[in-house]
Amino acid sequence: MRSIEIYDTTLRDGSQGEGVNFSLEDKLAITRRLDEAGVDFIEGGYPLSNPKDAQYFERVRGLALARSKVCAFGMTRRRGMTAAEDPGMKALLDAGTPVVTIVGKTSAFHVAEVLGVSREENLAMITDTVAHLAGAGREVFYDAEHFFDGWKLDAAYAAETIVAAARAGATRIVLCDTNGGTLPAEVSHLVAAAAAALAAAGVPAPLAIHCHNDCDLAVANSLAAVQAGAVQVQGTINGLGERCGNADLISVVANLALKLPGHRVLGGTGTAHLTELSRFVYETANMSYRAGQPFVGASAFAHKGGMHVHAIAKATESYEHIAPEAVGNSRRILVSELSGRSNIAALVNRPDVRDDRRLLDAVLAEVCRLENEGWQFEAAGASFDLLVDRCAGTFTPAFERVAYNVAVESRDGGSGEVRTEATVKLRVGGDLRHEVAEGDGPVNALDAALRKALAAVYPVLDRMHLVDYKVRVINAQEGTAAKVRVSIESTDGEAVWGTVGVSENVIEASWLALADSFHHFLSRR
């Protein structure tokens, strides 16, 4: 078994992605979680760049990490001074990490046009920096920035830079596809070329790979580098990072562990925790999950086509390349106008419905009719369950709507104050209930009035509340007369369920989704 090191740079390179911002506590929480996952190296940031990163390195020393080594990131010394004089070197050493990662120029183009020094000075900057840090007892990884582009431009000079770093004491030479424009075949060829250059110079340092995703090939390039001999993969959780992001370590780990025999990752901790790890980082970064993300996305093992679902019911491997449980994910059967009877049967919990072909056909026909009008049940399982009950004739409403009214009043004076009031009239059993409530908006006011009208009969409603509300225009070409689809997510603190409503009127669509949520909750009680 080849052990492949996993080097995580979510906290540094990942935080450079648009919309990504970690607090100090976020960074520490992610560090703990990466350590629990078995990640070998965690790059915490650049201690000289901002106070938060400097504080991180102070705080992280207090964490009792079981496996991971924390790395500080920095650049080669500045021109015109020794490494010992450079404040960047002092900050890296003061960070107190066992590993320091140094980025240096490998491309002759960048040396001349960006750094603005001679080739010889650049080599001296690399050598002095690595030797100074290694001499201070740090393990040094050398990030060869723009390696692949630099090698294609001037292979001899690119080789000189990585040889200089290895001779000075770097224990890993990291080949960086910084612009993300290299193809897998090129990566394989140039990783082998770099290894040959180091061996010929008598310094066969182990190689690592660091890929960006500008051609959507960062994971493929990383795997190609491993197969060409790289012993370490650098990347970020969920592929976060600048521009199009970095190699997604979730996919890298899953592929190495499950698809490429003979590789050991994360210290053998397995891959069953990958979905949880992915979602933990999304939640910490306050980002939405990527539904189509391979291995761990909500749609990664979701089946919608009737033919697919029929086959899955017989043999899951017919449309799944691995078992979803292998990465901590789960299988989902979706229902839509593309579904067949198999989809409906897979989603229905009631045996009397599941075994009734005529009723299944009736449910499918109703789903097709409603989806043609803009309804969508993929994230509205509760509304689907109620649809089944209605088709089966077994739906007993907890309440019936007689009427509702919503009034919105905007007051003058420049304060921007808007007052919303909802009135509902319901029939509950044999009683007629008429209540009024105010809210922060129409839906909140309707929710409050509905609760007020039902509270005496159903006191259990105080356990239920809304957690999400979304509106989507279905036929935007109709302008202000367009239909809208409202999706509501609710919880009772234990379960979470989704409902949907569709109408040309956003208030009516909201009522339909809201009423379904109440009916679902009360019918299960």
Task: Give per-residue pLDDT as tens, 205-240.
Answer: 999 999 999 999 999 999 999 999 999 999 999 999
Sheet holding 400-410, edge to edge: 400-410, 418-428, 431-439
Look at residue 256 and tell me whether its pLDDT is greater than 60. Answer: yes
Q: Which residues contact 333 (CB under 8 A, 6 or more apart)?
A: 302, 303, 309, 312, 343, 346, 347
User: Taking residues 458-479, what's their average pLDDT?
Assistant: 82
Query: pLDDT per residue over 322-335, tens digit each?
Result: 999 999 998 877 67
Closest CA to 67 of 98, 37, 28, 96: 37
User: Taking residues 22-35, what's their average pLDDT?
Assistant: 95
Q: At what angle do helices 24-37 and 274-284 cross, to 10 degrees?
A: 180
Look at residue 479 and tell me whether its pLDDT is greater than 70. Answer: no
Residue 372 pLDDT:
80
Place 171 in a pLDDT band, splitting at 50, 70 and 90: very high
Q: At what angle do helices 87-94 and 119-135 cross, to 10 degrees?
A: 30
Other beta carbons within 10 Å of 516? 24
Contact 485, 500 (CB under 8 A): yes
Q: pTM score, two decimals?
A: 0.76
**Single-letter amino acid code for the residue at 189:** H
Contact 213, 246 (CB under 8 A): yes
What kind and span of H or E run contains 490? strand 484-491
Q: What three-state secondary structure class fits 178?
A: coil
Question: Which has the minimum average pLDDT: 136-145, 167-176, 195-204, 406-415?
Answer: 406-415
Look at residue 291 and tell me whether its pLDDT is greater than 90. Answer: no
Q: DSSP label at 297?
A: S
Residue 111 pLDDT:
96
Q: What domains appear along the chain, each with residue ranges and CATH number?
A: 2-269 (3.20.20.70), 362-397+464-525 (3.30.160.340), 399-457 (3.30.160)
User: Taking residues 377-402, what's their average pLDDT?
Assistant: 89
Give 321-372 as a DSSP string. SS-GGGGT---EE--STT--HHHHHHH---HHHHT-HHHHHHHHHHHHHHHH
Look at residue 37 and tell me whether its pLDDT is greater than 70. Answer: yes
- Percent with pLDDT over 70 in the chain: 95
Closest CA to 441 of 461, 415, 469: 469
Distances (CA, A) of 124 to 79, 83, 121, 198, 334: 9, 10, 5, 18, 60
- Find how far residue 409's CA is from the centre of its chain: 41
Classify 78 in phi/psi space as left (phi over 0), alpha (psi -120 to 50) or beta: beta
Of residues 120 and 289, which shows the higher confidence score? 120
User: Taking residues 393-397, what's their average pLDDT?
Assistant: 90
Q: Which residues contact 365 (CB under 8 A, 6 or more apart)?
A: none
